Structure 1
Amino acid sequence: MTELTAENLDISVAIPAYNGATRLPKILDKLLAQTGVEQFSWEIIIVDNNSSDNTYEIIQNYQKIYNGNCHLRYFLEPEQGAAFARLRAVREAKGQLIAFLDDDNLPAPDWLSEAYTFGLEHPQAGAWSGQIHGSFEVKPPENFERIQAFLAIREHGSNPYLFDAGNLRLPPGAALVVRKQAWYESVPKVLILKGRLGKSMIGGEDLEPLLYLHKAGWQIWYNPTMHTYHQIPHWRLERDYLLTVARGCGFCIFQLRLINAKNWQKPIVFVKTILGNLRRVLQHLIQHRGQLKNNLIALFEIEFYLASMMSPLYYLKCHLGRVLKNKLAR
């Protein structure tokens, strides 16, 4: 990316929003009530990713409320996709730290101060995330905890630790704090994975920047003192939605593994991704034989394994499609 310039704030809270008019007031009220913020300078950035509701009017009203507390800024990002919204937030942020919140994440009163303190104490941390608890509209299905990480719920205990980026064990992009210097030094201007668009639910846009940070030598931490609450509406627990998420998270696996792979390793990653997930599929079928029809969690897991197994072929299909499109455009 372009050279990092001097900034005059400590933290920018960045909120990508899409049709979030009913959700944004809740998160903005929570941010207005943050404690311990007198120890640093901060701002809030709303990146509107082509909302068709009255998101802009909501932000205009809150800008009057926030006057004198912290600066609330609004930007319209016309390029559709979560990755584009986050890249725009990074470009516009005036803070040395960028604290990402989705518009359905409600931070605890001390979330921002705990994020700031952790950054001071861990200068080699390029990114850090905390505990993300589920706030459910309806009761989740039995054994939901086995797949809750796919819905950005992370409850990993009370001890801090380094995430295992080499095995794609990383935090979600929501409720994530990144050091702007680390992002500018490590993350490309253009990301491969754009986010879930239209009927496509291909994921991985949260993990891609973190893998670049890891590749550049920055640490990625779990900080248990940061708490947020992810609002989960009933439709996110329905069968069709969950299975779409499972497939979307699986299809990006090979592409994510390529980021930290050397050229000579890529054929090995190709084979290991297929065979490793084939083994998981067979084991899962044996373990849950006769149960998949009525066991939503087991069905979700095997959908994820199948999509992960197919992810190298999915990558080749997309890559060849782009090459053919470029040739036809000449």
Structure 2
Amino acid sequence: MQRGGRPKHSFWEEGGFQRIRENGKQVASCVKCKKIINNTAEQRLKSHRKSCIWENSDSISESEDNCNITLSKKRRNRSGSYDDNNNSDLKRGSYDEAATPSSSIQLKKEKRKISSFLDSISDKEHLKIDEALSNFFYSNNLSFDLIQDPYFKKFCKILRPAYEVPSEVKLSTTLLEKAHDKFTDRKVNLKEKKGTLLFCKNVAQTNGLEINAITKTGNDTLFLKSWILEEERDYISNYLQMINESSSIALKKYYISVYAVISFINIPKNNRILDSTSASPLLSESISMWHFDCHLETVDTLIAAIHDDSLEIKINRLLNAIKSTDIEEELVKRGGDTLSCQTRCSAFILF
């Protein structure tokens, strides 16, 4: 006769559970997997028995054995009868090993797991990364020897272990030529059909003089050609030829007609008297273009010459003082008028 507590049921013995006490409470212990189950209701114990690891492992092994035996019998039926004098146990064992499906499945799973830790890269992906890396170097005018920096190589290795960083020679030859060809072959659909021609000097070029020809039309800027000269005198002597080449490229490639040329240095105007405040007339009778001199370097020099450090210091000091919250009281003391504003601060007028 039970005297309180949870009623007992017959699945304790049938399911293989043992009654134990834990922290003053009766719990069930599975005799197969040794798991402690606090809820001793019959339905809970049956649920555990269905999901018990030890119980499932037995059922899986039994099902695999049955599967192996069935496959072995099917193979023997297809291949015909065997010699009775042969050892049937050995025959069955060999067929069972060959027909075990779990071994092949396990190998495939292991291969997938190993391959997930190995980085691989295709030729197409490698070329795409090379192009992006080279464009980064060219667009920022970085030195090519940085490609051999060990910290940069380590950085690339962490990002993509399978990627091989190109050499300095490849970056300065093959990849540079590809980037240049792709840039010059770019097809642009421009609305404006007239533009100006700019001759710019590359200040980063230390060996010789690098001149770049750029055409500007509307909001678009297009590269045309570059030259490497020894000094500015060579640029002046080849000025007309460079204009003809650049104008021809702009017209054939982008359908742009150049009407004006801007040079970074003063070009002699063939004995013509020019007004410094107006655009110069035609440089040559064979070229119907306007020619201008760029005074950007002169302006930069002038700005640096008239820059007043003391005035800048005073302005910054005044701005910092206005930011202070104590400025309100000081301005009122000096006769300033307070103007009401919708913001936290007030506006003042000091006469």
Q: TM-score range by the shorter chain?
A: under 0.3
Highest RCO, 1 vs 2 (Cα 8 Å, sep ≥ 6): 1
TM-score by length of 2: 0.24
**TM-score, normalised with respect to structure 1:** 0.25
